[in-house]
């Protein structure tokens, strides 16, 4: 059985792994230090879910403070000890909560949890590879991520509390251990954790790119790849090109913190004492940070976009509208994301002309984003839609992407941004456009590929409950924040309703907090569904969604090496849904054109004259000449 | 025969590609640092006003020479002359160590002049940071050279030997070029 497969890519050495794997696979090599991409994907996913639940809980804690700044909750003191003396959050701990909520959500959930899970799971399965380019590096990537997670969470157990300078850790707060409690040991550990995280991301990203470019199966040229793989590919490229700059910034920050250099520090007094640091510029940090930071938001959203494209096409039973436009818009976003970082810095005293340049590049990003949005809507248009939970979450992504994206056009304007900078308007904008949208993409992916990961289906009814509660609460939480922001309410304040001019927002804060609690409770439906279905869910068939991509040609029981025999060859793109003339409404990518004579179109042959001639012959014999006309 | 080639290609091609991607990210890392330098000197108006240690010229010569010895060793391994390959690798290794020594000596020269790492003019701190982070890359390069040396001594199959040789060459030439870039950058911004 195995000898026939030699001529397909990467078969040989994987068959070695294969046979080893079956003989001496222990609990440790199968579930812990696994080098199988499917297991690593599940490790990333479950770690990501746990981190997500923790970060969500943190947000509920600070939401309680915002809604009830005058109340004491004795329970909080029981839970948090001296972080909440007398049942009220300590102001420094509030800052730590905001910081760690942002850090975990952006990096640990939506970067590692999203890319780590679905790139690992889908790249080899959809492109027809036995595993990643380097399974060992893949394992290393997960364990670096795991260590980073543990270190990040461990800061809750130190006396001075976690880092508190915001997820962007601007100096001087992040550079001077004495500046505030959240600048002490918690900040040091934050930096250690992030260095490990970046290493994990880079190793993972390098592996994804190498796999995509080198290990596709026969016939899988780049233009036959599903949009998920395009998205993962470009995401990984973004990571490789932007994360090293963050490391460069962090290295300098560590020098400032620990050795007393002055890259970012100048003219600072602590407790009336002048510090020796002189001549540095905190703006330098902002440049280095946002050169990563802005691509990072696309690292977060692009995999979600790829997942949504795939899920929406499968469940609309229609080809994705504008496949090439979808790819080019992803490429456009990738390129543009590197030249817009200045729009985070409009109020740093930037030269207005430079601000204008960043404003124009920022607004140009609206073009590829709009192309994607219109293509999604056109994919849904007159589709034979199946409202699976995955489909609902994908549509939810589009909704959030539109409502959050529109405010991006406001914020991208330098003149408007001067008013809106660091207000709740920004909070509302990015929580919709990259927070909610990306998490909905991730949830769509989980519901859709759950059968591929665990061989069972999640309960759809709980899925619907989860979707509608989450969808409603996300809008109820973030939409009112726009109005607060327009009124000038600043973000990250411990008790802004103490200002007389902002007291009126207290009732809105209470409303938002209860909406957030509703959203958090809704996740119980998901968590129960997820963990229960692993063991007791309905058994899945091989291709439960009747999809075209290669992962559904693998057996339901997940084997090391993915396909028991030869790796399938690919003959067509991934989106032959409801093709006129074919009896089923989907044609898998490994179906040769010779088996679908009744539905082939001239452009399917890509200029292969011999094949065109055979098709014409067949058409004449079967009086099929006019079928195309009829369809039109 | 064709079959074998095919398998080797699939074994090593993605792994070699991984190295190239690592090099790309490393380039971005130093591009970030050097543009940080440009932003700093532009914004703060503080220029690099001290002459670079003279010894950097010698260390540059040493690292360029080491690239030649490594390339010679690489060519010998292609001709299956393994003794010469080992000699070349050892020479490169020693030159690499010498390079580190010269760089550290450069720091000592500056420190004796009172030009410290901890400085109110961070463009000088930048020079220390560049050289330090480059030395870390050199140390990684020495590690790759050791891997090549081990396989040139060991009983490993020749495909592994030549693969490691190739990896070592690519990486070592990269850290060589990286230093030349940093040195030129610093000379031009003096």
Q: What is the mean pLDDT of residues B155-164?
A: 81
* Candidates B18, B23, B129, partner chain A, best to mutate (most A CBs within 10 A): B18
Choose between A545 and B13: higher pLDDT.
A545
Residue A457 three-state SS: strand
The DSSP line for A413-437 is SHHHHHHHTTBHHHHHHHIIIIIIH
Lowest mean pLDDT among A526-535, A538-547, B118-127: B118-127
pLDDT, residue B11, reads 64
Q: How confident is the model at residue A22 (pLDDT cuts 50, 70, 90)?
A: very low
Inter-chain touch B18–A210, beta carbons under 8 Å? yes
Inter-chain touch A279–B121, beta carbons under 8 Å? yes
Residue A423 pairs in a beta bridge with A490
Highest mean pLDDT among A87-101, B3-17, B116-130: A87-101
The DSSP line for B133-176 is HHHHHHHHHHHHHHHHHHHHHSS--HHHHHHHHHHHHHHHHHHH
Per-residue pLDDT at A549 exceeds 90: yes
* Candidates A141, A210, A259, partner chain B, best to mutate (most B CBs within 10 A): A210
Distance CA A403, CA A34 (A): 41
pLDDT, residue A385, reads 95
Residue A577 three-state SS: strand
Full 3-state SS string of A552-593: HHCCCCCCCCCCCCCCCCCCCCCCCECCCCCCCCECCCCCCH
Q: How confident is the model at residue B16 (pLDDT cuts 50, 70, 90)?
A: confident
pLDDT, residue A453, reads 95
pLDDT tens digits, A131-177: 998 899 999 999 999 999 999 999 999 999 999 999 999 999 999 99
ω into A228 cis (within 30 of 0): no
Alpha helix segments (H runs only) across A185-226: 185-214
- As given in the structure block, the two tokens for residue B92 are 């490169």
pLDDT tens digits, B69-116: 999 999 998 888 888 999 999 999 999 999 999 999 999 999 999 888
Q: In percent, how much of chain B has pLDDT > 70? A: 93
Inter-chain touch B25–A206, beta carbons under 8 Å? yes
Per-residue pLDDT at A530 exceeds 80: yes
Residue A274 pairs in a beta bridge with A269
Distance CA A380, CA A309 (A): 10
> Cβ(A444)–Cβ(A401) under 8 Å?
no
Distance CA A136, CA A125 (A): 18
The C-alpha of B153 sits at a distance from chain A's nearest C-alpha, in angstroms, of 24
Residue A577 pairs in a beta bridge with A586
pLDDT tens digits, A27-66: 888 888 888 999 999 999 999 999 999 999 999 999 999 9
Inter-chain touch A247–B39, beta carbons under 8 Å? no
Q: Domains in chain A, please, with CATH? A: 1-30 (no CATH), 33-539 (1.20.210.10), 561-631 (no CATH)
Q: Given the DSSP bridges, would you call strands A456-457 and A269-270 parallel, antiparallel or unpaired?
A: unpaired
Full 3-state SS string of A496-523: HHHCHHHHHHHHHHHHHHHHHHHHHHHH
The DSSP letter of residue A363 is H
Q: What is the mean pLDDT of residues A354-373?
A: 95
Inter-chain touch A263–B40, beta carbons under 8 Å? yes
User: Phi, psi at residue A25, to the nearest 5°?
Assistant: -85, 115
The partner residue sitting opposite B10, judged by closest CB among A9, A277, A280, is: A9
Q: How many CA atoms lie within 13 A of A25 on its CB side?
A: 15
> Cβ(A493)–Cβ(A436) under 8 Å?
no
Q: What is the mean pLDDT of residues A379-398?
A: 96
Q: What is the mean pLDDT of residues B7-20?
A: 72
pLDDT tens digits, A212-246: 999 999 999 999 999 999 999 999 999 999 999 99
Q: What is the mean pLDDT of residues A372-377?
A: 96
| End-to-end Cα spacing for chain B | 57
pLDDT, residue B152, reads 85
Q: What is the mean pLDDT of residues A362-376?
A: 95
Average pLDDT across chain A, whole number: 91
Report how many Cβ contacts below 8 Å link chain A to chain B.
122
pLDDT, residue A24, reads 65
Distance CA A287, CA A280 (A): 13
Distance CA A333, CA A330 (A): 5
ω into A172 cis (within 30 of 0): yes
Inter-chain touch A255–B129, beta carbons under 8 Å? yes
Classify the C-alpha dihedral A330-A335-A338-A344 as positive or negative: negative
> Cβ(B53)–Cβ(B109) under 8 Å?
yes
Rg (chain A; Cα; Å): 26
Q: Which residues contact A267 (CB under 8 A, 6 or more apart)?
A: A278
CA-based nearest residue in chain B for residue A275: B120
> Cβ(A118)–Cβ(A452) under 8 Å?
no
Alpha helix segments (H runs only) across B45-157: 55-78, 82-112, 122-153
Distance CA A111, CA A99 (A): 16
Distance CA B115, CA B119 (A): 8
Average pLDDT across chain B, whole number: 88
Per-residue pLDDT at A538 exceeds 70: yes
pTM for this entry:
0.91
Distance CA A320, CA A303 (A): 16
Contacts of B24 in chain A (CB under 8 A): 240-241
Distance CA B161, CA B183 (A): 33
Q: How far is CA A457 from CA A68, A388, A588, B6, in A?
A: 41, 11, 21, 40
Q: What is the mean pLDDT of residues A275-291?
A: 89
Choose between B167 and B2: higher pLDDT.
B167
Distance CA A141, CA A211 (A): 15
Please state the length of chain A.
632
- As given in the structure block, the two tokens for residue A233 are 């590919």
Q: How confident is the model at residue B2 (pLDDT cuts 50, 70, 90)?
A: very low
Choose between A15 and A518: higher pLDDT.
A518
The C-alpha of A252 sits at a distance from chain B's nearest C-alpha, in angstroms, of 8
Q: Domains in chain B, please, with CATH? A: 2-188 (1.20.120.80)
The DSSP letter of residue A275 is P
The C-alpha of B150 sits at a distance from chain A's nearest C-alpha, in angstroms, of 21
Contacts of A255 in chain B (CB under 8 A): 125, 129
E strand or H helix that includes residue B25 = helix B2-44
Per-residue pLDDT at A8 exceeds 80: no
Per-residue pLDDT at B136 exceeds 90: yes
The C-alpha of B115 sits at a distance from chain A's nearest C-alpha, in angstroms, of 13
pLDDT, residue B154, reads 74
Q: In percent, how much of chain A has pLDDT > 70? A: 95
pLDDT tens digits, A89-98: 999 999 999 9
The partner residue sitting opposite A206, judged by closest CB among B7, B22, B120, is: B22
Contacts of A4 in chain B (CB under 8 A): none
pLDDT tens digits, A311-339: 999 999 999 999 999 999 999 999 999 99
Q: How many CA atoms lie within 13 A of A166 on its CB side?
A: 13
ipTM value, please give it.
0.90
CA-based nearest residue in chain B for residue A12: B7
* Largest interatomic CA distance in chain A: 95
pLDDT, residue B190, reads 80
The DSSP letter of residue B51 is P
Contacts of B6 in chain A (CB under 8 A): 7
Residue A270 three-state SS: strand
> Cβ(A435)–Cβ(A410) under 8 Å?
no
| End-to-end Cα spacing for chain A | 46
Distance CA A119, CA A235 (A): 10
* C-alpha A351, offset from chain centre: 33
Per-residue pLDDT at A501 exceeds 60: yes
Per-residue pLDDT at A277 exceeds 90: no
Residue A451 three-state SS: helix
- As given in the structure block, the two tokens for residue A45 are 């996913």
Q: In percent, how much of chain A has pLDDT > 90? A: 78
Which position has the token pair 């991607």? B21
Q: Given the DSSP bridges, would you call strands A456-457 and A538-539 parallel, antiparallel or unpaired?
A: antiparallel
Distance CA A466, CA A418 (A): 38
E strand or H helix that includes residue A121 = helix A117-127
pLDDT tens digits, A63-103: 999 999 989 999 999 999 889 998 899 999 999 999 999 99
């Amino acid at each position: 059985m195995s000898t026939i497969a030699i001529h397909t890519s990467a078969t040989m050495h994987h068959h070695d792994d294969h046979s080893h794997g079956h003989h001496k696979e222990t609990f440790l090599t199968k579930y812990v230090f696994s080098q199988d991409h499917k297991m690593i994907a599940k490790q990333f996913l479950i770690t990501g879910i746990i981190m997500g639940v923790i970060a969500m809980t943190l947000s509920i804690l600070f939401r309680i403070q915002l809604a009830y700044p005058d109340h004491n909750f004795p329970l909080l003191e029981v839970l948090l000890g001296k972080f909440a003396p007398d049942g009220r959050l300590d102001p420094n701990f509030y800052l730590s909560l905001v910081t760690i909520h942002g850090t975990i959500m952006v990096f640990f959930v939506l970067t590692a949890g999203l890319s780590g899970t679905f790139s690992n799971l889908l790249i080899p399965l959809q492109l027809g590879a036995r595993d990643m380019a380097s399974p060992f590096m893949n394992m290393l990537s997960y364990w670096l991520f795991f260590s980073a997670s543990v270190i990040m969470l461990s800061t809750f157990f130190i006396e001075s509390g976690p880092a508190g300078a915001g997820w962007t850790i601007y100096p001087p707060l992040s550079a001077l251990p004495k500046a505030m409690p959240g600048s002490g040991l918690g900040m040091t550990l934050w930096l250690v954790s992030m260095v490990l995280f970046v290493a994990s991301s880079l190793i993972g990203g390098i592996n994804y790119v190498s796999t995509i470019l080198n290990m596709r199966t026969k016939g899988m040229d780049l233009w036959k790849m599903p949009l998920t793989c395009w998205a993962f590919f470009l995401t990984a490229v973004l990571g490789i090109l932007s994360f090293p700059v963050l490391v460069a910034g962090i290295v300098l920050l560590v020098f400032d913190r620990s050795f007393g250099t002055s890259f970012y520090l100048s003219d600072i007094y602590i407790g009336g004492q002048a510090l020796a640091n002189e001549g540095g510029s905190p703006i330098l940090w902002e440049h280095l940070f946002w050169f990563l930071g802005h691509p990072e938001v696309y690292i977060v959203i692009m995999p979600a976009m790829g997942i949504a494209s795939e899920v929406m096409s499968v469940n609309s039973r229609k080809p994705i509208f504008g496949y090439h436009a979808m790819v080019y818009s992803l490429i456009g976003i990738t390129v543009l994301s590197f030249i817009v970082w200045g729009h985070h810095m409009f109020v740093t005293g930037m030269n207005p002309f430079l601000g204008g340049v960043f404003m124009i590049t920022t607004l140009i990003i609206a073009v590829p984003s709009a192309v994607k949005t219109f293509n999604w809507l056109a994919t849904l248009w007159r589709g034979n839609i199946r409202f699976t939970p995955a489909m609902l979450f994908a549509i939810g992504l589009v909704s959030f992407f539109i409502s959050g994206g529109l405010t991006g056009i406001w914020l991208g304007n330098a003149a408007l941004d001067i008013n809106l900078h660091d207000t709740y308007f920004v909070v509302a904008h990015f929580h919709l456009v990259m927070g909610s949208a990306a998490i909905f993409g991730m949830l769509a992916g989980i519901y859709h590929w759950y059968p591929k990961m665990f061989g069972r289906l999640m309960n759809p009814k709980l899925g619907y409950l989860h979707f509608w509660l989450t969808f409603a609460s996300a809008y109820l939480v973030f939409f009112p924040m726009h109005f607060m922001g327009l009124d000038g309410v600043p973000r990250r304040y411990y008790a802004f309703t103490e200002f007389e001019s902002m007291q009126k927002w207290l009732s809105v804060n209470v409303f938002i907090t209860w909406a957030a609690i509703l959203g958090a409770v809704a996740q119980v439906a998901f968590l129960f569904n997820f963990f229960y279905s692993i063991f007791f869910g309905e058994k899945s068939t091989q291709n439960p969604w009747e999809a075209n991509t290669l992962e559904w040609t693998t057996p339901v029981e997940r084997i090391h090496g993915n396909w028991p025999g030869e790796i399938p060859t690919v003959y067509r793109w991934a989106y032959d849904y409801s093709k006129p003339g074919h009896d089923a409404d989907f044609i898998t990518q490994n179906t040769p054109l010779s088996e679908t004579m009744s539905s082939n179109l001239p452009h399917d042959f890509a200029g292969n004259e011999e094949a065109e001639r055979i098709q014409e012959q067949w058409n004449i014999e079967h009086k099929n000449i006019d079928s195309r006309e009829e369809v039109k | 025969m064709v079959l074998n080639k095919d398998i080797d290609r699939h074994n090593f091609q993605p792994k070699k590609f991984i190295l190239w991607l690592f090099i790309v990210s490393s380039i971005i890392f130093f591009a970030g640092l050097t543009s940080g330098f440009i932003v700093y000197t532009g914004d703060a108006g503080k220029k690099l006003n001290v002459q670079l240690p003279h010894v950097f010229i010698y260390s540059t010569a040493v690292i360029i020479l080491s690239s030649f010895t490594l390339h010679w060793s690489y060519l010998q391994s292609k001709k299956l002359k393994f003794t010469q390959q080992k000699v070349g690798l050892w020479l490169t290794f020693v030159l690499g160590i010498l390079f580190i020594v010269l760089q550290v000596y450069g720091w000592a020269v500056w420190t004796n002049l009172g030009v410290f790492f901890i400085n109110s003019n961070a463009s000088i701190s930048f020079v220390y940071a560049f050289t330090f982070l480059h030395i870390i890359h050199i140390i990684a390069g020495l590690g790759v050279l050791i891997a090549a040396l081990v396989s040139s001594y060991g009983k490993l199959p020749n495909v592994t030997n030549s693969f490691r040789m190739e990896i070592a060459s690519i990486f070592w030439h990269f850290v060589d070029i990286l230093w030349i870039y940093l040195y030129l950058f610093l000379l031009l911004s003096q």
